[in-house]
């Protein structure tokens, strides 16, 4: 009997990057994945550097 282990990987990626991520994971031997679309307005983080405001 062969023991198979699973590792859960959670990633948040932009939709246009999905094909590349999927191809890279398949090349590494990952047999499958579950993809969920999400949307919404979360908190906005503002960081001030040298008097400039950068919104992430």
Taking the whole predicted model, whether its pTM rises above 0.75 is answered as no
pLDDT at 29 (0 to 100) = 85
Inter-residue contact 13 to 20 (CB < 8 Å): no
DSSP structure class, residue 27: H
Give the model confidence (pLDDT) of 1-56 as tens digits.
Answer: 788 787 888 888 888 999 999 899 889 888 788 888 877 776 766 666 555 444 45
Query: Would you state the pLDDT for residue 5?
Result: 80
User: Which parts of 1-56 fold into alpha helices (H)?
Assistant: 18-27
């Amino acid at each position: 009997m062969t023991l198979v282990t699973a590792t859960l990987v959670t990633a948040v990626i932009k939709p246009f990057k999905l094909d590349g991520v999927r191809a890279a994971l398949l090349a590494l031997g990952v047999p499958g994945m579950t993809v969920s679309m999400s949307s919404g307005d979360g908190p906005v983080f503002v960081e001030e550097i040298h008097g400039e405001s950068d919104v992430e």
